Chains A and B, each alone.
Chain A
Amino acid sequence: MTHLIDLSLGLAGTAKNTGKTTTTAAIVGELRLRGIPFYLTSIGYDGENLDNITGLPKPKLRVEPGDMIATAEKCILTSTAALKRVLSTDIATPLGKVSVVRVERPGLIETAGPNKSSEVKRLRNLLREFGPGIAIFDGALNRIAPMSETDGIVLATGAAKTPDIPRLSWETRLISHITNLPVVPAAEILRNKGFSTVALIAPDMSTCAAWPRSSLLTETDVDLIFSREIMENSYLYIPGIISEQAVNALLTHLQCYNKRLFLAFADPTKLLVSGNARIFEALSLALAEAGVFVGVLHSVPMLAVTVNPFYSEYRYETQTYRPAFVDAVRLQLAVQRQVNVPVYNIVKQGAAKLVDLIITRVGRWESPATVRF
C-alpha cells in the first residue's frame, strides 16, 4: 500500500492509568511492523517511570531505529535511545522546547509535547510539512481540549476511572454520544465567518448579535441571549465552553421557545471538558424534543475505545495504593454494549484490528507546497 498518508490521531484517556501509553505503544508497534510512517508525541508530559500521584510504575515507551518522536528538550537529554534531531521548533513546554528527533539506536524515551490546542495545531502543521505519516498525540491525564486539533480519537478508559463497571460503561456512552454529534448544516459558512465569541446568526447567515465572551458560564449570559427576538432556524454558536448552570438555563429557555434552532458548538471537546456529560445528554434529548438541532462545526470522532481493567486501590491502613483489577471480559462487553465503535482490550488482543480501523481514516498526504490549478 502507499504510505503517502496523513492523519492526526489523539489518544485520550478518561483518567490516569486507563492505558493510554499502553495503547500508544501497541499502535506504534503495529505501525512499525507494517512499515507505516508515524510521528509520536504527547499532549503535555507522559511516560514517567513512576506515576506522579500514586507512586506506582507506569510503562515507559520503547522506541526503535527510524521512529520519529516530537518531544521536549529535557526528555531528549534523559532518553536512553540514540536520537538525531531533525527539526527544532519554538513550541515551549515546561520541559523545554519541542524538537522532532529520529531514533538511531533503540531505547526508552519520555514524550512531552505541546499542551495547548493552538500549539498542538502548530505542531501538527509542522509535522505535515515534514512529510507523510500518522501523527499520534498521546494525551496526558484526562486532557481532552487539545484533541480538538486531531482528526479523531481513540478513547482509553478503564477501572482507573471507576471500578464500577455499569457506571464506567454509561459514562463511556455519554462521551460517545458527544463525540458523535453531527456537523451542523451551515458549518462551513460559520467556520469561514471565524466567530471567536458567542454569536446569534440569522437563517440568512447574517449576524444578529455577538457577545463579548467565548463561553456561556452563567444564567445571566443565557438570559441576555434570550432577551431578544430569535428567528426560527437561527444558529446560536458557542465557540468556548458551557457551564452546567448555563446548560440548565438554556434548557429552560428553549423548552418555552418552541421553534427550530441550531445550537452549534466549535467541536465535541468543548462539551467534554465541562465534565457534565450526563447533563448534556439530558439537555440534548430535551432539546431534540423541543426542535433544537445540536451539532458541531468540527467533528472529532471517536474511532474506538480501549479498556483497561487495572486500577490503583487505596489502602487506608497503610495510606498506600496497590494494583487491583476488575473482570476484563465483563468490562469489555459492558462498554461495547453502550457504544457503536469497536472496543478493544489491547493487552489481550493486540493492536492489529485497531490499526486496521485507524488506516480506514487516513487521508492522502500532499505537501503543503502543492500548487493546484
Chain B
Amino acid sequence: MKNVLLAPLDPVHDIGLKMIARGLEQAGHKTTLLPPDLGSEEIIEQILNSPDVDTLLLSRTLGYGVGELLARFVDLADAAGVREKVKIGIGGMAIRPELAAELGFDAGFGPGTTIEEVVCFVEGREYRPDPNRTNKNKPDLTEGYDYTYLHAGIAAKLEKISSFILDWVKDKWSPGVERARLRDELWDVERWRKREGNGDLYQHYLPLCSELPKKFYETGELHPKTRRFTREEVAGLERYLEDTKARMSVLKLQHTRKKPYVFNQYGTGCPFMDIGHILASEAWGADGVVHFDPSWGARTEGFLDGFLTHQEDGTVITPANLNRIYLGLEKSTLWQIRAHRGLNTPETVVLAGKIGADLTKINFCYGSLAAGTDPERMVVDAYHAMLYAKKYKLPFDVVTNEELAGVPAYKAFAGMLIVSDLAVRLGARPILQPLFAYSPEVMINELMEDNYIDFNAGKVYALRGIINAPIWPGAPIGFLTHTEDRVQSAMTTALHASLAASLGVDAISIASTDEAYSGGPISAPAKVDTLRAVQEGFRFLGQGTITPTDTAVRYAERITDGIEKVLEEVIKAGDIVAALHKGLLGSREEGAYPGRAGKGTVETQKES
C-alpha cells in the first residue's frame, strides 16, 4: 500500500484529483486530498509533517507563468530534501510527459490519462496501455455471412439473371481480360520485388495496350501530367518512413462496439503524399484506406510502370506505386484498391492481389452507367475480375454511387444485387455498399425532409430483408450533406457514422472535411477532422441506438418492391447488356449514361 498525497495547485480545480484519489483507493492505496488554494510551501510542509507519504500528485490547469510556478514547486521540494523519498507527478489539461520532464516532475499526466496510468506511477510499475486500444488486427468484413436469401422472390429472379449472364459471358474476352491473364500468369511479384525484372510479360502485354502505355513502353514517354520521382525524393520518402514508423502507433476509433470499421480514401496524385496521408489516417484511427486512381486511368488500356507522381488528384496505378504504398502501411490497416469502373478492372484485381491488398471494388452496373465504360466490356471484365477476386481472396464492395448521378436507390440496389449474386455463384465474397447520402432522388422526392435517418436506415432494412450479406455504407457516408464548413462537415460525417453504428453495419467509408470542396487534393488535417469526429460519435453512442421513425420501414418496403420490379424487367430483357442500355438499372433521364470506353473490344473466344 502506498501513501499518496494529492494537492490541487489551483484555487478551485480538484475534480480530476478526486477521481484519481478514488481510483487509488480502489487499488488499495491510502490517499489524502488536500484542499484547493494552498501555497507551495504549505504543501511541502504537509509532506514534511507526513513522513510516510511516498507520492505527491499535483494538479494545475496550465496558463502563462504557471510553468515557472510549477518549476519553483519542484525546486522547493528538491531543496527541502523531499524529492529523495517522494515521487511527484503533475496532471492538467496542457501537461504532456515532455513538459513534466522540462518542469522537473517524475511524471506528467495530460488529457486522456487513465486511472490505471496513475496507479502504475504510484506503484512504480511500467504502464502498458490496453493492447486492444493500440494493437489492431485486420478483420475479415465478410466473416459470419453466408449470403443466404431471405426474400425468395428476389432470390429466384437473381438466379435467372445470373444464369443468363453466365451463359453469355463465359466465352467472351477483351484486351483487359487478356492483360489480366498475362499479369496473373507471367508476372512474378517476388522476382519483381527482388529487382529481377518482369519476365517476358511486356512482350505480350504491349499489343493489348492503348496508345499511352504503348508509347511509354516503347519510348519511355510518360502521361503529360506524370513524372518519375527523383532519386533524392525516393531517399526522402525512405527517411520519412523510417522516422515516422519509429514513432507510429495506431488508434482504435470504436468505443464499446466492434463495428463499423472505418475507411477513408487517399489519392492526392503523389504516392509520397499519399503515404503521409495514410499514416495520418492510421494514427488517427482509420481501419482501412482506399486507393483512388485518376479518371484517365480507367479509360486507358493497360498500366504504366515505375514510381510515378501525378500532378492532379488520383494516384496512378503502377506496380511500383502500389508497392511503395503497401510498404508504408501499418500491419492492421485494410487496404482497398478500386477496380470497378474502367478498362483495367480485372488486371487491377490481379495486381492488388499480388501486391498485397485486402479488398477491391467491382460493379459493372456503376462502371458502365456512371463511369464511362461500355456496358458489354464492363460486364465481361467485371466477370473475370470477380474470378480473380476469388483467386486472390479479395472481398470486394459493390458500390452504388450511380445514385449520385440521379439513379434511384432501388435501381442501383437491383444492379448491386445482380453483381453480388453473380459473385457469390463464382465463389467470391461481395460486400453490399448502399450510399448514405442526400442523393438527387432524395432531394427531388423530399425523402429526407424531416431527417437524414429514415431513408438511410430504410436502405439497410431493405438489404437485410433480402440477403444475409455484409453491408458497408459509403462512399463516403453523408455525401451531399457536407458543406465547405469543416465543422459542419465533420459533424454530419460523425452523425452518419453513429447511424451506421446503430444499424450494426460492418464498415463505413468517410470523407475528409474538405473532400467535396477542396478544389484539389484533400489535406491531412481535414482527414483528421472526420476521424476525430467519428471517434467522438462512437463514444457518444456506445451501445445506445438511434431509432428511425416508422417511415424507415415504409422506405424499405418501397425499395424492396422497386428492386423486385427492376429484376423482373431485366429478366424480360433477357440480356444484361441490353438491360443496361435500356436504362432498366438507371436511365438517361435519371442521369445514367451507358459509357463508350472500350466499345467494340469484346470478342468471343473461338472454340479451341
Give A contacts to B, CB under 8 Å: 15-16, 43-46, 48, 52-54, 72, 77, 93-95, 112, 115-118, 140-146, 148, 196, 213-215, 217-218, 239-241, 243-245, 269-270, 273-275, 314, 321
- Which residues on the B side are within 8 Å of A148 (C-beta)? 79
Give B contacts to A, CB under 8 Å: 41, 44-45, 48, 62, 64, 66-68, 71-72, 74-76, 78-81, 83-84, 94, 96-108, 246
* B75 adjacent to A215 (CB under 8 Å): no
* B64 adjacent to A143 (CB under 8 Å): no
Instruction: Give Cα A142 to B102, complex, Å.
Output: 10
Most buried by A among B66, B67, B108: B67
Beyond A44-B101, A196-B81, A214-B48, list 8 extra A-B contacts (CB 8 Å): A45-B102, A48-B98, A53-B94, A215-B44, A245-B41, A269-B75, A270-B79, A273-B79
Given that A53-B62, A142-B71, A217-B44 are contacting pairs, would A273 and B100 also be in contact in the complex, using a CB cutoff of 8 Å?
Answer: no
Instruction: Give Cα A87 to B441, complex, Å.
Output: 71
**Candidates A16, A112, A142, A146; contact of B101 at CB < 8 Å:** A112
Instruction: Give Cα A45 to B95, complex, Å.
Output: 14
- Which residues on the B side are within 8 Å of A321 (C-beta)? 64
9 tightest A-B CB contacts, nearest first: A145-B78, A115-B104, A45-B101, A45-B102, A141-B71, A273-B75, A94-B101, A145-B75, A240-B80
Say what secondary structure dominates the interface of chain B.
helix
* B48 adjacent to A140 (CB under 8 Å): no
CB distance from B517 to the nearest CB of A (A): 26
Given that A116-B84, A140-B104, A141-B71 are contacting pairs, would A274 and B76 also be in contact in the complex, using a CB cutoff of 8 Å?
Answer: yes
Say what secondary structure dominates the interface of chain A.
loop
CB distance from B111 to the nearest CB of A (A): 15
| Nearest A residue (CB) for B66 | A53
- Which residues on the A side are within 8 Å of B71 (C-beta)? 140-143
Instruction: Give Cα A373 to B71, complex, Å.
Output: 45
* B64 adjacent to A94 (CB under 8 Å): no
**Candidates A77, A144, A243; contact of B246 at CB < 8 Å:** A77
CB distance from A310 to the nearest CB of B (A): 15
Given that A140-B103, A215-B44 are contacting pairs, would A94 and B97 also be in contact in the complex, using a CB cutoff of 8 Å?
Answer: yes
- Which residues on the B side are within 8 Å of A196 (C-beta)? 81
CB distance from B225 to the nearest CB of A (A): 35
- Which residues on the A side are within 8 Å of B101 (C-beta)? 44-45, 72, 93-95, 112, 115
**Candidates A15, A118, A217; contact of B84 at CB < 8 Å:** A118
* B67 adjacent to A141 (CB under 8 Å): yes
- Which residues on the B side are within 8 Å of A46 (C-beta)? 102
Given that A94-B97, A273-B72 are contacting pairs, would A214 and B81 also be in contact in the complex, using a CB cutoff of 8 Å?
Answer: yes
- Which residues on the A side are within 8 Å of B72 (C-beta)? 142, 273, 275
CB distance from A92 to the nearest CB of B (A): 8
* B78 adjacent to A54 (CB under 8 Å): no
Instruction: Give Cα A213 to B80, complex, Å.
Output: 9
25 contacts between A and B (CB under 8 A): A46-B102, A93-B101, A94-B97, A94-B98, A94-B100, A94-B107, A117-B78, A117-B83, A141-B67, A142-B72, A142-B75, A143-B71, A143-B75, A214-B80, A215-B44, A217-B44, A218-B45, A240-B79, A241-B44, A241-B76, A269-B79, A270-B79, A273-B76, A273-B78, A275-B72
Instruction: Give Cα A104 to B108, complex, Å.
Output: 33
| Nearest B residue (CB) for A196 | B81
- Which residues on the A side are within 8 Å of B246 (C-beta)? 77
**Candidates A140, A214, A215; contact of B102 at CB < 8 Å:** A140
Most buried by B among A45, A77, A214, A239: A45
- Which residues on the A side are within 8 Å of B107 (C-beta)? 94
CB distance from B564 to the nearest CB of A (A): 61
| Nearest B residue (CB) for A148 | B79
**Candidates B45, B80, B84, B102; contact of A52 at CB < 8 Å:** B102
Instruction: Give Cα A72 to B98, complex, Å.
Output: 11
* B64 adjacent to A53 (CB under 8 Å): yes
